[in-house]
Amino acid sequence: MYKKARPAGKEILKEVARQGGKASFSAVAEALKKSKGTASPVFAELVEQGSLVKKERGRYVLFYGLFRDYLLRRAD
């Protein structure tokens, strides 16, 4: 799943992992200094791929808890 993601998607996945594996859309966009308009389609793509799960409006979690550990090991 990580390997299929575009660079922007990888950045978002890593940030969600840094935030404990669950995060709000706004917090991730802010942390990465991305506009909501830029981040929104990337979040949608990650949900479609199954890397992120949308729990409620603006709230996302990684699809699997161990995926967080994997992402944190890959984080620069």
State the sign of the Cα–Cα–Cα–Cα dihedral 6, 8, 9, 11.
positive
Can you give the pLDDT at residue 66? 72
Q: For residue 68, what pLDDT is reported?
A: 80
Q: Count the neighbouring beta carbons within 10 Å of the beta carbon of residue 50.
A: 11
Q: What is the pLDDT of residue 69?
A: 79
Report the pLDDT value the prediction gives residue 2, as an integer from 0 to 100: 74
Domain boundaries, the chain: 7-74
Give the tens place of pLDDT for each residue, 23-76. 999 999 999 999 999 999 999 999 999 999 999 999 999 988 777 877 878 765
* 14 has a pLDDT exceeding 60: yes
Are the C-beta atoms of residues 42 and 5 closer than 8 Å to each other? Answer: no
pTM of the model: 0.87
Look up residue 5 and give its DSSP letter.
Answer: S
CATH code of the region 7-74: 1.10.10.10
